[in-house]
Amino acid sequence: MASLAFTSSQAVSSSFSSYEQPRASHFGLFKPLNRSHLPSMAANISRRKCAVKPLNAEPKRNDSIVENVKQRCLPNALNYPMLEEYDFRNDTVQNLEGCELTGSPLSCGEFTVVVEEKVKVEDYGKLAKELENGSPLEIIDKALEKFGNDIAIAFSGAEDVALIEYAQLTGRPFRVFSLDTGRLNPETYKFFDEVEKHYGIRIEYMFPDAVEVQALVRSKGLFSFYEDGHQECCRVRKVRPLRRALKGLRGWITGQRKDQSPGTRSEIPVVQVDPAFEGMDGGVGSLVKWNPLANVDGKDVWNFLRTMKVPMNSLHAQGYISIGCEPCTRPVLPGQHEREGRWWWEDAKAKECGLHKGNLKEEAQLNGNGNGDVHANGSATVADIFDTEKIVSLSRPGVENLLKLQNRREPWLVVLYAPWCQFCQAMEGSYVELAEKLAGTGMKVGKFRADGEQKAFAQKELQLGSFPTILFFPNHSSRPIKYPSEKRDVDSLMAFVNALR
């Protein structure tokens, strides 16, 4: 199916006698011929409502997942009768028989016909099976080939240097980013510098929000994670900065291995749609996660590093294997698993900081893994999310009052969530940012925890289908309006709000 847009209400010629070779900046654009070639059929078209685009507007393209479809538009293919097939409301052509699309520009009077490439939806489950026995070099090469500049290697300052070495061996350009939490070991910072010089690259550092870090430290001190779990600190210093980084990408490459953490990483595929974070296009499925080392044993990674004589973090020589922030990492003894050196005061089977939260089964998230505690009666308390003074935490009576009000003083936006839900966690940053933007505008932003005992009520009264569900309560009606999209970035949510308030 091709998508066409017309920039004028002038007539289209019944045939085209010439066309120019496309330039890179005018891909798929038809440029005007001399006006003298136009027949007098303007009246038929001018009565119709056209979708107007600038003359040099390029169609939105996603080169990372676009199939290289050969397109050839024959000069006599778009004749006048075909305009009767044109659906101006949906801006699509219902039938293009005899027209093979190449994206070459055809002259068409004052019309500019935009031919958009056909987008192929990649089956990453199938691709994961195809690459299951592939080498890390082959997998990284495929990732860089598919995503180009829209993918980056996540570098933690440990054995992830193997990813950079493999990327360099492909001969393709690549990007590297790292999360500087502000609490890394001095040896790790020195290692970063050595890696940059060795490979001639610049690591793209992501830092936590200073205001959030300040609020956490002032309210709970520097070492609160030893008492109430590492999740809150990691969320501020690592997860939210990572979310910002990934919003500018369509894919990321990690150093996860199945043997790193049997409780959480034993089933990771070599490539997957990221279950917890969103990419630049927003919504579920907008980010692809590559794990080239998934099937590689740790000892083989180290043999590779030694063979290639790459820089290494000097902490490894002191017994550190898995390296994170200084207060949360320690050396391991011979025979101990490498993850024993991370958050050693917590459950050894579920040690994830939140960067790979999608690895955790829902059962594990609800049964004590550093996210929360399990009480003697079996009930779980999970560290809450959307935790900011800009978002009102609503109880069930509060929500029931919202439902009863016919004329509210202010409109409300409310998210129905479960703190263990990975999709709720993925939208935390965007929802908090939205609340900050709406502060003082006469609009209230709230949250309602709708799992557990509240789930049946939310399903019956609040249109809850899955987590998260976002509702807009207008000030003139008691019936809430459900946000229909899976895109949960700030711009999409703001567009929804502005269209209704």
> What are the residue numbers of the active site?
421, 424
Is omega for the bond preceding 468 within 30 degrees of 0, making it cis? Answer: yes
Q: Residue 84 gets which letter from DSSP?
A: G
Tell me the backbone φ, ψ of residue 255, rounded to 5 degrees. Answer: -100, 20
For the chain, the residue count is: 501
- What ranges in 221-297 are assigned the alpha helix state H? 225-228, 231-234, 240-246
Cα(376)–Cα(449) distance, integer angstroms:
22
Residue at 9: amino acid letter: S
Q: Which helix (H) or strand (E) holds 290?
A: strand 288-290
Helix/strand/coil for 238: helix
Pairing of β 271-273 and β 151-154: unpaired
Helix/strand/coil for 243: helix
Buried b (16+ CB within 10 A) or exposed e, 153-171: bbbbbbbbbbbbbbbbebe
Closest CA to 142 of 291, 242, 276: 291
Record the tokens describing residue 317, joined without a space: 């020589």
Tell me the backbone φ, ψ of residue 288, rounded to 5 degrees. Answer: -115, 135
Helix/strand/coil for 111: coil
The end-to-end CA distance of the chain, in Å, is 36
Cα(282)–Cα(115) distance, integer angstroms:
24
CB under 8 A, 24+ apart: contacts of 92-100: 92/1, 92/2, 92/3, 92/4, 93/1, 93/2, 93/3, 93/4, 96/1, 96/2, 98/74, 99/2, 99/73, 99/74, 100/70, 100/71, 100/72, 100/73, 100/74
